[in-house]
Amino acid sequence: MVERMQIIRHSEQTLKTALISKNPVLVSQYEKLDAGEQRLMNEAFQPASDLFGPITLHSPSDWITSHPEAPQDFEQFFSDPYRKTPSPDKRSIYIQAIGSLGNTRIISEEYIKWLTGYCKAYFYGLRVKLLEPVPVSATRCSFRVNENTQNLQIHAGDILKFLKKKKPEDAFCIVGITMIDLYPRDSWNFVFGQASLTDGVGIFSFARYGSDFYSMRYEGKVKKLKKTSSSDYSIFNNYYIPEITSVLLLRSCKTLTHEIGHIFGLRHCQWLACLMQGSNHLEEADRRPLNLCPICLRKLQCAVGFSIVERYKALVRWIDDESSGTPGATPEHSREGNGNLPKPVEAFKEWKEWIIKCLAVLQK
């Protein structure tokens, strides 16, 4: 099958209006931004920009073709009456691990720290806090073995109810992360994640991001579900967990930031290649960049209130810091094998070069 790529090219005027708007209040708000920030965001409507480019579609099963939805420009985002914004007393993003994320306690803990550090840099200026990980049984969720793929799955809606009950007072949102596959209802095969914007809760699974999920050799297949009762969670005691590779870390960072973006009220992006583009399948998710296009960046900046330069510098620091999030591990910690796993950042190196180009434009 020959892939026919389709490029979605908007006119300069369309992109300029999507970014700046024609509403005088929003135009003057834009003009008050730092000159470097305007210079970077104006790249959105420079056709020859090497920082931001158009969305390319590779197949009819890609998101935009199969899920027609109304685009959201900055003005629509800004004036959305249902949009939730962090307030001075609700400025924390909480991360709740459900079940183990790595094959050992150390790997699991480090991986959660890497994700937390990434979210801190991405949503620069908000606090990101870790809740104590819980086993699947704590959520009292329904579960099943998928009849097509033979892997264990937990019910996304049940987990959202559990998270909503656990949401701390100062939380802007609480997101659950798990290595167990999710399903939204009995008739569905699976879902990568699910969120409720009104409740500020989300659950995302990284189960399908391991390199072997779609291979015949996948070790997470369950022969038969021996369940004595709906409250027997013993099958989760040693479920299969993929190895934490750089690609898995990259994919999980992308999913986590994309989905938290939705909780801030950013809808799927249809303007330029952007983290907020929808994705229907893994190849399409892999083609999405880690970064936001200028239109979505302005939306996030409006919601959080960061300096773009400081945010980019924080992201570069996260990529450069190849040790874990804990400098100087305590002696008791390091007895358990290697207490400081090197963070697998190889897959982020190319993006780092891109951020450095952006910083050059910002700081000209």
| pLDDT tens-digit readout, 82-135 | 999 999 999 999 999 999 998 888 899 999 999 999 999 999 999 999 999 999
- Residues 315-340 as b or e (16 or more Cβ within 10 Å = b): bbebbeeeebbeeeeeeeeeeeeebb
Which residues, 6 or more positions from 235, have their beta carbon under 8 angstroms from its beta carbon? 143, 152, 222, 225, 226, 227
59 CB neighbour count, 10 Å cutoff: 16
pLDDT of 63: 66
pLDDT at 310: 98
Hey, what amino acid is at 247?
V
For residue 203, give the amino acid letter. Answer: I
pLDDT at 196 over 80: yes
Q: Which of 259, 322, 346, 353 is catalytic?
A: 259
Least Cα distance to 59 among 258, 282, 248, 271 occurs for 282
* One-letter amino acid for residue 191 of the chain: V
What residue ranges define each of the domains in the chain, with the CATH number in brackets? 1-81+266-307+350-363 (no CATH), 84-264 (3.40.390.10)
169 is catalytic: no
Q: Is the pLDDT of residue 31 over 80?
A: yes
CA distance 70 to 77: 12
